[in-house]
A and B are shown apart, each in its own frame.
Chain A
Amino acid sequence: MTRHYSAFGLLREGLRGHSGWQPAWRSPQPKPRYDAVIIGGGGQGLATAYYLAKNHGITNVAVLEKGWLGGGNTGRNTATIRSNYFYPESVALYDFSLKLYEGLSRELNYNVMLSQRGVVTVASSPAEMEMAARLVNAMQINGTDAELLDRDGVLQKAPLLNTSDEARYPIFGGTWQGRAGVARHDAVAWGYARAADGFGIDIVQNCEVAGFLIEGGRCVGVETSLGTIHADAVALCVAGHSSVLAAKAGFQLPIRSYSLQAMVSEPVKPCLDTVVLYPGTGTYLFQSDKGEIVLGGGLDRVPSYAQRGNPPMQQTVVSGMLEMFPAFGQLRMLRQWAGVVDVVPDSSPIIGPSPVSGLYLNGGWGTGGFKAIPAGGWLTAHLIATGEHHEISRPFDLDRFATGRLVDEAAGSGIAH
Chain B
Amino acid sequence: MSARRIRDSGALLAFTFDGRAYEGREGDTLASALLANGVRVVGRSFKYHRPRGIHGAWSEEPNAILDVTIYGKTWPNIRATTQRLEAGMDLRSVNARPTAEGDRLGLLNRLSPFLPAGFYYKTFLWPDWHRFEPRIRAMAGLGRLDPAHEPPADSPAMNARCDVLVVGSGRSGLLAAREAALAGGSVIVVDDRFEPGGTMLHREADGAERAAVLAGDVEQAGARILSRTTAYGIYDHNLVCCWERRDGAPDRHWRIRPKRIVLATGAIERPLVFVDNDRPGVMSAEAALYYLRRHGVLVGERIVLAANNSRALGVADALREAGAAVTVAVLREGASVDAVHGAKGVEAVTISGKRIEADCLLASGGYTPTVHLFCQAKGKLRYDEAIAAFVPGAPVDGISLSGAAAGDFGDYAIAPAWPNPGAKGRQWIDFQNDVTLKDVELAARENFRSVEHLKRYTTLGMATDQGKTSNMNGLAAMAAVTGRTIEQTGTTTYRPPFVPVPFTVLAGRRRGQLFNPVRRLALETQHRAAGGVFREYGGWLRPAFYGGGEADDEIRREARQARETVAIFDGSPLGKIEVFGPQAGAIVDYNSYNTISTLKPGRIRYGFMLTEGGVIYDDGVTVKLADDHYVVSCSSGHVAGVVARLEEWRQDRFDPAAVFVHNLTAHWATLTATGPHAKALVAALSLGVDLDDAALPHMAVAQGSFEGGAARVARVSFTGDRSYEISVPASKAPALWAAMNEAGRALDAVLMGSEALLLLRAEKGFIIAGKDTDGTSMPHDLGITGPRDKRLGEYVGKRSLFTENALRDNRQQFVGLAVADGGPALPTGAHVLDETGGKRRSAGYVTSSYESPAVGGPIALGLVERGMSRMGEEVSLFHLGETRRAVIAQPCFFDRDGSRIDA
Contacts and interface: CB of A to CB of B under 8 A. Distances in A.
Would A and B touch once assembled, by the CB under 8 A criterion?
A: yes
Interface of A: 5-7, 9-11, 14-15, 17-19, 21-27, 68, 70-71, 75, 88, 105-106, 109-117, 125-127, 130-138, 140-142, 148, 159-160, 166-169, 181, 184, 186-187, 190-191, 205, 265-271, 281, 287, 289-291, 306, 308-311, 314-316, 318-323, 326-337, 345, 402-406, 408, 410-412, 414
**Which of A7, A15, A160, A345 has its CB near the most chain B CB atoms (within 10 A)?**
A7
Contact of B805 (A127, A191, A403): A403
Contacts of A205: 450
Contacts of B456: 70, 75, 186
Nearest to B803: A404
B606 interface: no
B153 interface: yes
B803 A402 contact: yes
A141 B138 CA distance: 37
Interface string B793-806: 00000001001111
Interface stretch (B190-198, B701-709, B824-832): B824-832
A15 B840 CA distance: 57
Interface in B712-743: none
A22 B446 contact: yes
Nearest to A413: B774
Interface string B123-140: 111101110011011101
A89 to B, nearest CB: 11
Contacts of B510: 315-316, 319
A88 B503 contact: no
B340 interface: no
Given A111-B124, A113-B129, A141 B878 contact: yes
Contacts of A106: 125-126
B766 interface: no
Nearest to A314: B506
Given A17-B438, A404-B805, A168 B507 contact: no
A308 B776 contact: no
Given A190-B121, A266-B464, A322-B503, A411 B776 contact: yes
Nearest to B462: A335
A96 B116 CA distance: 34
A268 B66 CA distance: 11
A140 B511 CA distance: 36
A23 B504 contact: no
B142 A114 contact: no
Contacts of B123: 5-7, 10, 111
B150 A290 contact: no
A10 B119 contact: yes
Interface string B94-129: 000000000000000000011010011111111011
Contacts of A402: 803-804
B113 A24 contact: no
Question: What are the 8 tightest A-B residue pairs by CB atom distance, in nearest-first order?
Answer: A411-B775, A291-B141, A133-B829, A404-B803, A404-B805, A329-B151, A332-B500, A134-B829
Nearest to B805: A404
Given A14-B114, A318-B506, A322-B153, A408 B77 contact: no
B691 interface: no
B810 to A, nearest CB: 12
Interface residues of B, number: 104
Contact of B830 (A18, A133, A412): A133
B146 A281 contact: no
A190 B454 CA distance: 13
Contact of B515 (A23, A187, A265, A320): A320
A88 B144 CA distance: 43
A309 B438 CA distance: 34
**Which of A126, A138, A334 has its CB near the most chain B CB atoms (within 10 A)?**
A334
Contacts of A19: 445
A256 to B, nearest CB: 16
A265 B513 contact: no
A161 to B, nearest CB: 11
A327 B501 contact: no
Interface stretch (B174-182, B234-242, B297-305): B234-242
B662 interface: no
Interface of B: 46, 74-77, 113-114, 116, 119-126, 128-130, 133-134, 136-138, 140-153, 233, 235-236, 239, 241, 255, 438, 442, 445-448, 450, 452-453, 456-457, 459, 462, 464, 466, 495-497, 500-504, 506-508, 510-513, 515-516, 535-536, 613-615, 771, 774-776, 800, 803-806, 827-831, 833, 840-842, 845, 878-881
B829 A132 contact: yes
Contacts of A166: 512-513
A328 B503 contact: yes
Contact of B842 (A6, A70, A141): A141
Contact of B138 (A70, A127, A269): A269
Contacts of A140: 878, 880-881
A137 B845 contact: yes
Contacts of A135: 829
B5 to A, nearest CB: 30
A111 B142 contact: no
Contacts of B120: 111, 113
Given A168-B513, A310-B236, A322-B153, A137 B507 contact: no
B77 A332 contact: yes
23 contacts: A9-B122, A14-B113, A25-B447, A26-B447, A134-B828, A148-B880, A265-B503, A266-B76, A267-B464, A269-B143, A271-B145, A271-B147, A291-B137, A306-B236, A316-B510, A326-B150, A330-B76, A330-B149, A332-B502, A334-B497, A403-B804, A405-B805, A408-B776
B140 A289 contact: yes
Contact of B775 (A112, A320, A412): A412
B450 A412 contact: no
B841 A141 contact: yes
A308 B497 CA distance: 12
B842 A88 contact: yes
B538 to A, nearest CB: 10
Given A322-B511, A336-B497, 8 more contacts: A111-B121, A115-B130, A133-B879, A167-B512, A191-B121, A291-B140, A323-B511, A404-B804
A268 B125 contact: no
Nearest to A307: B493
B880 A136 contact: yes
A41 B394 CA distance: 31
Nearest to A290: B140
A306 B236 CA distance: 10
Contacts of A22: 446
A268 B829 contact: no
Contacts of B502: 329, 331-333
A289 B881 CA distance: 35
Given A24-B448, A88-B841, A114-B130, A309 B515 contact: no
Contacts of A113: 120, 124, 129, 133
A331 B67 CA distance: 11
B125 A6 contact: yes
A268 B143 contact: yes
B155 to A, nearest CB: 9
Nearest to A328: B503
A115 B134 CA distance: 10
A134 B812 CA distance: 15
A162 B456 CA distance: 33
B512 to A, nearest CB: 5
A333 B140 contact: no
A205 to B, nearest CB: 7
Contacts of B504: 322, 329
Contacts of A70: 453, 456
A10 B446 contact: no
Nearest to A322: B507
Given A127-B771, A267-B142, A18 B438 contact: yes
A270 B774 contact: no
B501 A332 contact: yes
A327 B442 CA distance: 39
Nearest to A167: B512
